[in-house]
Amino acid sequence: MGFQVTHLYGLTETYGPSLVCEYQEGWTDLPATMLAERLSRRGVPTVSVADVRVAGRQLAPVPADGRTVGEILVRSNTVAAGYLDDEQATAEAFRGGWFHTGDPCRIDEEGYLFVVDRIKHVTNTGGVLVASREVEDAIYEHDAVAEVAVVGLAHQRWIEAIAAVVVARSPVAPEELIAFARERLAAHKVPKSVHFVDELAKNASGKLLKRELRYQLNRSSAPAGR
């Protein structure tokens, strides 16, 4: 179509893009699937940012292996100093000399970052963190699924149990979707339950309200089926 799409990543607090998926000349001859994978990454730090780190516990950098998940941290003179009249939020987000974005991601051997989800949407199941987006992407491959949102529900044994909230476009059983996910995901990432709704809770701009979905499901422990 005569144009090229380039991924950028940034937040209001970082005053514009912090990462750009900088195109490399060697990518031109790659097979389409490999090229798409590289272009889907959020990229490398822009020249306007002093430092970007993918950090794990105690702010230590995670390995650049493309698998280990950490949080994106940013520091620069373009980063906000804090939130107006909100000392608690400022203390939480701007600690240790870094701005904590709340975005978990992986970094590969080329130094490119790939965002996997929002930290508040990551489920702690049995002490293992699972990104909801990965589970959603797997379930979306099923032809009967029109929309899906994955949330963590409070669970006595697992801390949180992964639950899929689905808007179906055709009849499908919860067991079928769970089996479908099991073929595509590691065992600990497979939903423990599937709940069907007519529509997903969203705000006026169309953004999913996972907090509302989680609240509704925590009030009802039994999954529904179609």
Same domain, 24 and 90: yes
Same domain, 53 and 147: no
Domain boundary among the residues 84, 116, 148 is at: 116
Tally of domains in the chain: 2
Same domain, 15 and 81: yes
pTM as predicted = 0.65
Q: Tell me the average pLDDT of the chain.
A: 89
**CATH number where 125 lies:** 3.30.300.30
- Tracing tokens 């990462």 back to the chain, one arrives at 19
Same domain, 99 and 126: no
Domain boundary among the residues 93, 116, 139 is at: 116
pLDDT tens digit string along 126-183? 888 788 888 999 999 999 999 999 999 988 888 899 999 999 999 999 999 999 999 9
Same domain, 33 and 58: yes
Same domain, 189 and 155: yes
> Would you say residue 225 lies in a domain?
no
**CATH number where 30 lies:** 2.30.38.10
Residues 6+ apart with CB under 8 A from 112: 21, 38, 41, 42, 43, 44
pLDDT confidence of residue 112 = 94
pLDDT confidence of residue 100 = 95
pLDDT confidence of residue 35 = 87
pLDDT at 96 over 90: yes
> Would you say residue 95 lies in a domain?
yes
Of the chain, the percentage scoring pLDDT greater than 90 comes to 51
Domain hosting residue 161, numbered range: 120-218
Same domain, 83 and 14: yes
DSSP annotation of 98 reads E
Angle at 154 between CA 153 and CA 156, to 5 degrees: 135
Same domain, 205 and 151: yes
56 pLDDT band (50/70/90 cuts)?
Answer: confident
CA–CA distance, 131 with 205 (Å, rounded to integer): 23
Domain boundary among the residues 56, 84, 116 is at: 116
Residues 6+ apart with CB under 8 A from 115: 9, 42, 72, 103, 104, 105
Same domain, 24 and 112: yes
> Would you say residue 150 lies in a domain?
yes
